[in-house]
Every structure is written in structure tokens, then in C-alpha cells.
Chains A and B, each alone.
Chain A
């Protein structure tokens, strides 16, 4: 029976980690802007001048 308690503790702590991650992300403002990060990742960093002709 002790194994159930062990599993319980493990599963709850995993869930708690996700809850903390959620709260952290929320406070950090990750859910506020869902457009810019999605576009930002597509921009190349080093663009040679005059390369677009």
C-alpha cells in the first residue's frame, strides 16, 4: 500500500510543478502577447544590405 502513497506524492508534485510553471508564466506576461513572439522567430538576424532586389 505504501507504493500508492509514493505514487500519489510523485504525481501531485509533478502536477504542482506545472501549476507553478503556469503561475510563473502568467506573472511574466507570457499570455499577454500571442502575436509578436510567433512572428519574431521567423526573422533572420543577419540580413545583408541591398539583398532584396
Chain B
């Protein structure tokens, strides 16, 4: 999904693909006056043009995604199986089906436009509704045999291949939890009306109108009931949960204050002694819920819980005699022969029985180049075949494969145990409040027993730590929002605090420091004349080997007018052909007759008539601007790099990260996790930044684990946060913001203490009138809100983070 910036200075007349904006190769398909990067993009354009849907291209410049993946007709064959298809059917009636698909490619309003015009492309589709935030489409279509498959294929045709993975089969998708917002709405309604009804009480009401006064009080009591018994449920729940677990949650004093306030207020109304504190009570609940809603801003388009099942396909093609049958992955048995095509994932460990494997394990192990496997060799689950079609014999069940077993080993919950500093603070706070209440009680015991209960309950009402909690949740909510505007999405507010305590940062190499899908080639040797470059490019483009393809891409030459004779590919060796009388070979050292260079693994040697002028080596391409931000981190944190790859990049990494950095190569996933644990045992707080399944165990073990993704459609392993690769330069600022977060919480807490002390001043003397309570409470809330909002924005701006909303950017992630 990685795209070249279309506005780069290199834009020539051949320029960029009309559909997707990729820079076109020299021999690009042309239609009318438009250029395309590949046949796939051209096909999509033709379909849209034929159906009058070209507005797709007017809404956004080059809105498409590259369609260069090879297709084969039977790829959605598994959707013909009723039990798999049923997973995508939300509702069925006699003649219609309601389907739901997840289309991660969706990214702009062009996508929205095109997908909702789906009925124009196929008569059997009746309507199509896009749910943009969830990246889902709901499709209503006629009920026919094989309709689910037909719709999936139609979507794939126009460039939106439904993302179908094993987790669709095993997990139920969680529904959105609306209860908190509902509770907020109810609390808001009751709070505002109670405030209104309380005004007569504040300004004094004639004793003549006693019936009216009574009426207002009763009315408030009725309105407070939904607040106490419905809206405040989250506070009771977390209190009960924490008490069962044997500790005191910060919500406990809140729940206590709510109960005490309500009881006292009801007593006052019944005994005609006062108006109660229904206004303060409902206000507290309302503002606390508001803070919580802000903080629990969930990023619905992201999933922080993915395991290997959302990476694996839902079904594979099993060979039965001469035919292929789609079999759901859980039903795959050892002994089955499965057919894997280019771009597909190996579902289970097995042996290659036919074809030539070029397995890309970048995601699973971190090796940057595809590995070549021949018949009889073992293939591990999780690799992606990048060559042609292969067949393999399954040796183990899916759940027993190496990759799956990694997951089962790690799954231990750890993060809920470290409580926020706010909890520690609230504990002291609670004790202090209790002490003040005791002292107050003792004082009135001696002086005027009749005012004792009034004073004690007032202390609880005023001094509940809701200010602290509010300060915390408002700040966290703000910071989470600002981070998300900078393409860094954290799982929850607790992660902000984990980030602030980090002392050691561990990076993965492939896909994190380097760009996963991009290796650049470097030529070493005697300079090559143009003609020879043409010949090499032509030769390389005829092979399916990933290195050859990389070479052809690297050279990027027009291939017309070059004739090669006798082109032959030798598996695992190289490729040869005749240009005129000259025999040209590219491949490994032995094949080309070149002198092998020690220590080079990913290397293409050349020879012309047996004479080797030089070789190409594959190099990792580091992300742009990586030096600057690594430099900023160097002094403040200890850095380590764990790579699943070989040590070829040791030198480059050393110069990037400096001498103080620890480098480990050839790291297996469990090695990475063990290294993190080792650091933790030495008292370090570790932040792990990785991207692939091979980092999953380490991400989980670390105090904070952030997954890097090229864009948020990609698969990311379970983690505490997801960050877009282009935001990595902001990492120093993001870590800094974590610390600022704590300071803002403290500052606004101290501010609110001032209000609390003022309130206590009235409360201990037993003269807290509802009016004073009603002024103090919203005033303190408002000032907390302003302080947290202003301070976090100011701090973020100074750190160079984007503060303002970027709705436009959300619709056009590429501009």
C-alpha cells in the first residue's frame, strides 16, 4: 500500500497513474490520454468509465489503490460454502440478502461514492451503504446461489477486496458500547432541569409559597433518581470490582459521595429540613461521565487486539485429485495438499511438494528479502508466497504451527496491575478527607450535636476526589485526541502514563526503521553502458524471482526494441539469455562465474560472455529523516535494535544509532521477548516499537508496545498503540507529551484543591448551603476544563505536534 508521493519533482509527462497515483514504469499501459501503472488499474478505470462513474476521479486526484496483484478466478471459492458465507450475512429474507464486508482500502470520499454506486455495476445488488469509520459496507442484494461470492468478486474487481481472515470465522465482532453516552445523556437532562428547579431555592422563596417550594424539592428528587440509579452505574461497578480484587479504586470515594449525598438529600426533603444537594450530585455525575466519554474516545477503525487469526486466510484451496476445493482453515488436516498462489499466505507448517517457493517472511521473522525454497523443504506458516503457484503438504494443524504456538505462549494479562499515579494520589486524598470528616465530627460532638451529621456529610460532598479524577480524565482525553491527530493511536489513557516513564526504547529493524516493502539496489563494479543496462532489465523482468523483479524495478527502462533469444531460467541459480551473440547471465556467483564476495547474502551478479563487470546488492532503505529523530532520542533514552534479519546492516545501524546502542541480529520472536524481560528485570521501563508478528510477543511483554503501520489498513499485531510510519519522526515529541500530561493533571488538581478548601471552609462549619455548593462545583469543573484544554494544546504546539482538527486530512490521507 506504500505509495510514491505523486507531487514529487520527478513528475514527467509519462507521470503518474491516473487511477492510483503511482509513478508509472516506462512501459506503462496507456488508454486515451491517460497513463496507468499496471493493467489492474486500467481495468478498474475501464469498468468505471463504462458505467458512467468517472466522478470517482473528479472527487479526488488519483483516488485508487494499486491493482497490480495477480488475480485468479477461484480465489473466493470458499464463499460458496454455506457455513463460511453465513459469516457475512447479517440478515436474510425470502428474496434478499444483507451482507457486510470489511474493506480496509476505503480511504476517501471517492471510495464512498463508488461503493454506494455499486448497484449500477451489477443488477443483483440492490443497495450499498458505507460505514466509513468502521470501513464496512452493508450490501442488500438479491438472494441467489453463490451471491456472497459474486459480491465479493465484484468488490475485488473495482479494487476493494474484502478483507476476510480466519478471525471472521472464530470471533464475533464486538458491538459498540453505547451505554456510557446514554448515561451521559440522561445525566445531562436531569442535571440541567434540576439546576433550573433549584433557582428559587438559591434566591430564596417566600414562605407563603410553601407548596411551590415543596413541589420543586419533590421534583428534584424524582429527577435525581435516574442519575443515581442509572447514570452513576459505572462508578458503582468499578468500586465493587476493585473491592473484590482487594484494593481501593479511585471511583470508590466517588460512589461513596454519591450515596451519602443522595441519602442526606432525600432525608432533608422528607423531613422538610432543606432542599438537599441534588443539583451538585447530578452535576458531579454529569461532569465525571463527560470526562470519561472524552477519555474513552475509541478508535473504531483500529483494532488493538489482533492475533494471528486476523492475519490468516479464512480458507485455503486443497487439492483433491485433479480438482481444488476450498476448505475452511480450522478443517485443514495434516496430510492435505494445499495450493498457494502468488500473494497468498502459508496457513500451516508443511513441506513444499511442487513449484518454487519465494517466501516472504518479513512479517513473521523480520527477514527483509524473500527466502528461496525448493521442493522437499519445510515451509513455516505465516510466510507469503511471492513467486508463482506452489503446492505444499500440510504437516501440522493450524493451531499447532510455530506462529500460533507463539501466541499461546504469551497470552498473559499484565497491564491492568500497574495503576496510575492518580490512584496513589487519590488514596492519600481519601485518607485526608476521612481525617477532616472525623475532626469535624469530633468538634461538633463537643459543641452542637444537632449539626454533626450535616457538617460531616457536607465534607464528603465537597471533598470527593472528583476534581482529581476530572483533571485526569479531561487531560488524558485531550492528549489522546491530539496524539490521534498526529496519527498515533493509543489503546487507552493508561498508555500515556506508561510512555512517560520509559527509560529504554527497543526497535525492530525490518518494517520499523526500514521500509518494509522497499529495498533499494546498489551497483558495485565497472560502469555499465546503456545497452547492457537495457539487456539486464529485459532479462530480469522476465523472471518471477523477487530479486530480479527488484532489479527490473530499480533499472526502470523501456523494454521495447530489445530482443533476447534463448532466455532460460535456472531455479535457484539465475537466468540467462542471448543479446545478439553475447550470452548474458544474471544470478548467483557460481552461475555467472563471478568471484563471490564474502558476507553478501542478497546479491545479484552479472556476466556478459563470462566476464563479470560487477554486482547489485540489496540494501535496506531506512525511513526518511530517521537520523534526526533518532538523534533526539539518543541522549535521553537507551536504545536497542532487535532484528530478525542477518547482521549485514550492523555498520549502517551503528552509524545511525551511535555506539551506545545495543544491536542484536537473527532474533527469533521469543528472543525479542526475552530481551525485553531481561531489561525489565534490571529495572528498565521498556518501550517496544515493532511492526510484525515477530514482534508480537515483545510488544506484549514491554511496558508499552507500539505497532508501526504504513497506513491504518494494514495488519498490526496486538499492541498498546498503533502509529503510522510517517509519524515516527514525532516519537520524541510524543514521549515528551506523556510527561507533560502528568504535570498538567497535577496543576489542575492543585487548582481544584483551592476550590475544595474553600468548600471545606463552609462545610466544616456546617453552613454549606446548596447555593454555595452549586456555585463551587461547576466553577471548579470549568476551570479544570479550561486549564487542561489550554495547557495540553499549548504544550503540544510547542512540541511541534498538530493540534487542530484535520477532518480534511482524514478524508484525504495522502495530501
Contacts and interface: CB of A to CB of B under 8 A. Distances in A.
B54 A32 contact: no
A23 B188 CA distance: 12
Interface string B123-157: 00000001111100000000000000000000000
B49 interface: yes
Contact of A49 (B52, B133, B196): B52
Contacts of A1: 209, 211-212
Nearest to A36: B132
A39 B55 CA distance: 13
Nearest to A45: B117
B54 A40 contact: no
Contacts of B51: 49
A43 B384 CA distance: 39
A43 B130 CA distance: 14
Interface in B148-200: 176, 178, 181-182, 185-186, 189, 192-193, 196-197
Contacts of A33: 131-134
Given A19-B189, A26-B181, A43-B116, A34 B54 contact: no
B132 A47 contact: no
A38 B51 CA distance: 24
Nearest to B208: A1
B267 interface: no
B133 A34 contact: yes
Nearest to A35: B132
A27 B177 CA distance: 10
Contacts of A23: 182, 185
Contacts of A8: 197, 219
Contacts of A12: 193
A43 B189 contact: no
Given A15-B193, A26-B181, A40 B49 contact: no
A26 B185 contact: yes
Interface residues of A, number: 32
Nearest to B197: A8
Interface string B295-330: 000001000000000000000000000000000000
A33 to B, nearest CB: 5
A11 B810 CA distance: 40
Most buried by B among A18, A29, A34, A36: A36
Contacts of A43: 55, 113, 116
Contacts of A6: none
B116 A47 contact: no
Interface string B515-555: 00000000000000000000000000000000000000000
Contact of B131 (A32, A39, A51): A32
B556 interface: no
Contacts of A50: 49, 52, 54
Interface in A2-32: 4-5, 8, 11-12, 15-16, 18-19, 22-23, 26-27, 29, 31-32
A47 B811 contact: no
Interface string B46-65: 00011111110110000000
Contacts of A5: 212, 215
Contacts of A36: 112, 130-133
Interface in B676-709: none
Contact of A52 (B50, B57, B196): B57
A26 B182 contact: yes
B602 interface: no
B640 to A, nearest CB: 40
Contacts of A32: 131, 133-134, 176, 300
A40 B112 contact: yes
Contacts of A31: 181
A47 B185 contact: no
A31 B197 CA distance: 30
B192 A15 contact: yes
Nearest to A39: B109
- For the complex of A and B, the 8 pairs showing the least CB-CB separation, nearest first, are A49-B52, A39-B109, A35-B132, A52-B54, A36-B132, A19-B189, A33-B133, A22-B185
Given A23-B185, A52-B55, 17 more contacts: A1-B209, A18-B189, A19-B186, A22-B185, A23-B182, A32-B131, A32-B134, A35-B112, A36-B131, A36-B133, A39-B132, A40-B130, A47-B54, A49-B49, A49-B50, A50-B49, A51-B52
